[in-house]
Chains A and B, each alone.
Chain A
């Protein structure tokens, strides 16, 4: 429970943080809310040489919208997203999911950028962003680029973010008034989901979006379910495809076979609740 020795620096701006990352390379790790990184450091599973604290960069904490898109600053705390009236109206799934993360202490300290950069398949936010077809904005020494949520999560705790890049914001298409649901199955309210399902019944070309929590080595889209819904299948038939293409983990809480079963049940429930 005592981390290995490390250096600590505080960045006053995004540019300063990027500069420090470029200078220190693999040795450096960004510290925002600290709710994923610090537990790993205390267990000595993460051994960064230098922490670059970006927690006090004030202009990265916001929830704003222009009617088409909701923009959320990377340092926005889960609590601020969960209680944002704008988010509740325009991206209600995301606001609700943010309110289900961990416990009140975690939600007041943890940041959405930190959670996304960690790339944990058991996190709730990535599955919500996949279902909502969100875009992440990252800035590095070469400037700013946009990365679709689908392209962002690429492996276990692995993202498309370059070592010298910082997530600055998340852009989510506004979907006011559409059906949505979040099914989180866990044994205690504060825990990671054993399996979670996000669903948004958007129409248009893309069709409904369904995300899966903790069903593989990375956050997943339930592509089979979405395809079935687009082609007019019943909810039951679509839900039966929930575990297609997944490789669920095996742990004390659940075997892979049980997780596959849960995914099918929870997708069905989510779609029913969303009004499919």
Chain B
């Protein structure tokens, strides 16, 4: 079942084609929202709360209004009639979930630093920025809650009407007695507490929006740096009251999102409201420091993770209890993010008893929501850290404890205790290859040598085996989770009269390379050059149906839909060829771009000729519609489950606490790869994003709810200089779920990497008696842990001092 290489195909599928998108992106030809020339557009400036929790008193707009180029300053009261409804939360995870009303402009209270309290409308971006500083808001500061456990105590209640900061408690506990029994009878028990710090997504392009009204037509075009033009269109109708058939949403070139642009934001709705109110275009471009507080953040959890195991280290039960940080409000899918990991706290291991519980709490911080991996990195982190703790307790090697617990290859498709069906998997080959890539035995020997020599630079080797559920799709499964939308994807493929092809994709790229990959899928099936395929997307007027891009769904849902639509036009071409070549349809075969009568190669026509025949419609079978085009809306029967094993090697400088990543290997399996170069790019970026959580990144709030690192000078996104060249390899285990056998790979790198790095760090420091360190492993944090361990009674290093 598992192959070691993507099978060679005759065509474009599997080729390392350079990306079609790159020439225009790299030359500046591609236009992002801020590049758009929109005559007559007014600029919006957001007056934001500098307090995490404050009552809003009077707002004095007179000085701002007196400034040159300032048209209006609008408060919550001024915009009260602009809203048909509150901002959407599309994922009410429980019947009794508590959700505060959330409007684009705060009225009575500001609930986080960055909450919008007034909107400046001005002739230029500069005038808007100057006027924002001139609006005087009388804030009455209130005590703020930042710490999750403090928030859960309700010492300070943020939303008066709710009476509590606890939004919901969601439980997945198929057999509580079995879990209790497993823990009671366990030979080994592990109980660990992990903190998932908040992260700032930091897309290359901050957000931007421009609303262009049709004054007489009543229509509204919204340009937005969004991952979800289709979902946004529905929400503009529901929230702003513009009839949906009058709304068009365009996502022009979008510079990354990592989930942060999978949302409906206040600024988008404000732009629409102002454009309607004034009858002129209204636009706003987010600054980088604004982005840090005004765009959603990721992670933010405290995890209590427990394992029960028998004497050999075979896991008999998993119990995970979470407190998850919602931030000040529920954004589009905020409450559901931790639950995307709810089913994966046993990871790649065959576990018979399972309990998961998550309580979502409000804090006076920026709302959280989807960030690369969304729930699954947190789950993988917990189980992959905990199994290392178990290995230390049992006294077996990190690789061996995993082998003892992996789901056996012959159990796939595997029905998990948490209720999922893992489509396909074969876990040990990835582990074996990853260990070989770093020469695991040699590393272990070097580690031992350094320890015996008493060297101060400690080597640590960390493993992480992951599986994730992605390709967010089955609409009925999403319904069972109370998710407010379906999970299908739409694609149209049309061969034009002259034989070139247009693909209309419902899934919307923001950097991934959809145009290249969809071209490869179509060209491979049609036997044509990928350059003859153009992919249209990201405009609801061009691509009316779509569910957009998140959850590593583009390829296993949208790409599969593209392949299915291509198959449909091949079937139609066969019918045209059979008619014109006077053969039975069953006797037509499609080979090398030609439709041939089986056994009579001279009777053939290229598929391009059938497209022209379909266009003229002069000689088609009776009842056939003209044009060679087909639309497919695909709703898969299951998620897909990519997997792999990562190995991180770190060096810890005992004197300074500095941690250096010296080697990294990843063996991932996403089934057949459409374009291995793009897969590698996703893995490089994804891995470094996870490494960044382990070593560098954190949204650092002080006790009053101020973000202390709202700039890229202080928020440490790593560069190429901080990471070694990553060693990649892969196995190929096709998914039986879809016709292409493909699985998503956009989030896998991030899911696998943070625990590998932290396991490596603990592996390096375990001889000093250190078994836990919070992320990120700042040098001072590591150094302090070493000092504390030295001071502890019976410390390992004590006799040497």
A interface residues, Cβ below 8 angstroms from B = 1-2, 4-5, 39, 43-44, 103, 185, 187-191, 194, 252-255, 258, 261-262, 265
Contact = CB atoms under 8 A, between A and B. Distances in A.
B658 to A, nearest CB: 7
B289 A265 contact: no
Contacts of B709: 252
A265 B656 contact: yes
Nearest to A264: B655
A1 B289 contact: yes
A189 B719 contact: yes
Nearest to A103: B719
23 contacts: A1-B287, A1-B290, A2-B129, A43-B711, A44-B133, A187-B696, A187-B716, A187-B779, A188-B696, A188-B716, A188-B722, A189-B719, A189-B721, A190-B719, A191-B713, A191-B716, A194-B779, A252-B700, A252-B709, A253-B778, A254-B780, A258-B784, A265-B656
Contacts of B290: 1
Nearest to B695: A187
A188 B700 contact: no
A188 B718 contact: yes
Given A4-B130, A43-B289, A252-B700, A185 B656 contact: yes
Given A187-B779, A253-B778, A5 B130 contact: yes
Nearest to B712: A190
Given A185-B658, A187-B716, A265-B656, A253 B780 contact: yes
B125 interface: yes
B288 interface: yes
Given A1-B289, A252-B708, A265-B656, 18 more contacts: A1-B288, A1-B290, A2-B129, A2-B130, A5-B130, A39-B713, A43-B711, A103-B719, A185-B658, A185-B779, A187-B695, A187-B779, A188-B722, A189-B721, A190-B719, A190-B721, A191-B716, A253-B779
Query: Is chain A's binding surface mostly helix, strand, loop or mixed?
Result: loop
Interface size class of B (residues with CB under 8 A): 20 to 34
B780 A188 contact: no
Contacts of B784: 258
Contacts of B130: 2, 4-5
Given A1-B288, A4-B130, A258-B780, A189 B700 contact: no
A253 B108 CA distance: 37
Contacts of A262: 656
Contacts of B288: 1
Contacts of A5: 126, 130
A187 B778 contact: yes
Given A4-B130, A44-B133, A189 B780 contact: no
Contact of A265 (B655, B719, B721): B655
A189 B696 CA distance: 12
Contacts of A43: 289, 711
Contacts, number: 56
A44 B134 CA distance: 13
Contact of A189 (B133, B655, B722, B783): B722
A255 B784 CA distance: 11
A260 to B, nearest CB: 12
B697 to A, nearest CB: 11
A192 B747 CA distance: 32
A261 B719 contact: no
Nearest to A265: B655
A4 B127 CA distance: 10
B714 interface: yes
Contacts of B708: 252
Contacts of B655: 265
Interface in B706-728: 708-709, 711, 713-714, 716, 718-719, 721-722
A38 to B, nearest CB: 13
Nearest to B206: A1
Nearest to A185: B656
Contacts of A187: 695-696, 716, 778-779
Interface of B: 125-126, 129-130, 133, 287-290, 655-656, 658, 695-696, 700, 708-709, 711, 713-714, 716, 718-719, 721-722, 778-780, 783-784
A5 B722 CA distance: 38
A4 B133 CA distance: 10
Given A2-B125, A252-B709, A254-B780, A188 B721 contact: yes
Given A189-B722, A190-B719, A2 B656 contact: no
B143 to A, nearest CB: 23
Nearest to B781: A258
Nearest to A254: B780
A262 B784 CA distance: 12
A72 B615 CA distance: 74
A258 B722 contact: no
B780 A255 contact: yes
Contacts of B129: 2
A213 to B, nearest CB: 15
Contacts of B711: 43
Nearest to B126: A2
Nearest to A261: B783
B298 to A, nearest CB: 19
Contacts of A44: 133
B706 to A, nearest CB: 12
A258 B780 CA distance: 7
Contacts of A190: 719, 721
Nearest to A266: B656
Nearest to B290: A1
A71 to B, nearest CB: 32
Contacts of B783: 258, 261
A5 B133 CA distance: 13
B788 to A, nearest CB: 13
Nearest to A189: B721
B757 to A, nearest CB: 14
Contacts of B722: 188-189
A188 B289 CA distance: 20
A194 B287 CA distance: 27
B545 to A, nearest CB: 37
B91 to A, nearest CB: 33
Contacts of A258: 780, 783-784
A189 B719 CA distance: 8
Nearest to B717: A188
B146 to A, nearest CB: 15
Most chain-B CB neighbours within 10 Å: which of A5, A103, A253, A255?
A253
A44 B784 CA distance: 36
A120 to B, nearest CB: 12
A190 B716 CA distance: 10
Nearest to A258: B780
B716 to A, nearest CB: 6
Nearest to B776: A187
Contacts of B700: 252
A256 B305 CA distance: 35
Contacts of A194: 779
B721 A252 contact: no
A267 B43 CA distance: 53
Most chain-B CB neighbours within 10 Å: which of A103, A194, A258?
A258
Contacts of B126: 2, 5
Nearest to A262: B656
Contacts of A39: 713
A203 to B, nearest CB: 29
Nearest to B655: A265
